[in-house]
Amino acid sequence: MSTQVPETETEAEAETESKPHQERRLAEKEKRREAADRERVAREEIEAADDSVHLKVFRYDPEVEGKQEPRFDDFHVPFKKGMTVLDALMYARDHYDSSLTFRHSCRQAICGSDAMFVNGSQRLCCKTQMVDLEEPVRVEPLPHQEVVKDLVVDMQHFYDQMESVEPYFQTNETPDGELEEQRQSRENREKIKMSTRCIWCGACMSSCNIAAGDNQYLGPAAINKAYQFYMDEREGEDMQEHRMRILEQEHGVWRCQTQFSCTEVCPKDIPLTEHIQELKREAVKSNLKFW
Ligand code: FES
Q: Is the distance from the beta carbon of residue 107 to the nearest atom of ligand 1 less than 6 Å? A: yes
Judge whether 127 and 104 are in contact, CB under 8 Å.
no
Whether the CB of 283 sits within 6 Å of ligand 1 = no
Q: Which domains does the chain have, with CATH numbers?
A: 31-146 (3.10.20.30), 155-173+184-286 (1.10.1060.10)
pLDDT at 37: 82
In this predicted structure, what is the pLDDT of residue 272? Answer: 98
Nearest one of 256, 193, 257 to 223, comparing CA atoms: 256
Q: At what angle do helices 237-247 and 272-287 cross, to 10 degrees?
A: 110
Report the pLDDT value the prediction gives residue 2, as an integer from 0 to 100.
Answer: 38
Tell me the CA–centroid distance for residue 167 and ligand 1, in Å: 21
Residue 151 CA, ligand 1 centroid: distance in Å: 14
Quick one: which of 107, 78, 106, 104 has its CA closest to 92? 78
Distance CA 289, CA 279 (A): 18
Ranges of residues in the chain whose predicted pLDDT is under 70: 1-17, 46-50, 291
- Whether 202 lines ligand 1, by a CB cut-off of 6 Å, is no
Rounded Cα distance between 143 and 36, Å, is 34
Q: Where are the alpha helices (DSSP H) in the chain?
A: 4-48, 85-95, 156-164, 186-192, 203-207, 209-213, 220-230, 237-247, 261-265, 272-287
Amino acid 10: pLDDT: 55
By most ligand atoms within 8 Å of CB, the mutation choice from 84, 93, 107, 266 for ligand 1 is 107
Give the other-Cβ count within 10 Å of 45's Cβ: 16
Distance 172 CA to ligand 1 centre (A): 36
Check residue 39 and give its pLDDT.
78
What pLDDT score does 14 carry?
55
pLDDT on residue 9? 53
CA atoms within 13 Å, Cβ hemisphere of 288 = 7
Write out pLDDT tens, residues 212-248.
999 999 999 999 999 999 999 999 889 999 999 999 9
Ligand 1 proximity of 109 Cβ (cutoff 6 Å): yes
Tell how far the Cα of 249 is from the centroid of ligand 1, in angstroms: 33
Give me the pLDDT at residue 4, please: 42
Per-residue pLDDT, 28: 86
pLDDT at 11: 56
pTM to 2 decimals?
0.81
103 lines ligand 1 (CB under 6 A): no
Q: Which residues pair with 74 in a beta bridge?
A: 56
Q: In whole angstroms, what separates CA 179 from the centre of its chain? A: 36
Q: What are phi and psi of 34, to 5 degrees?
A: -65, -40
Q: Find the 84 Cα to ligand 1 centroid distance in Å.
A: 11
CA of 3 to the centre of ligand 1 (A): 67
| Ligand 1 closest atom vs CA 107 | 3
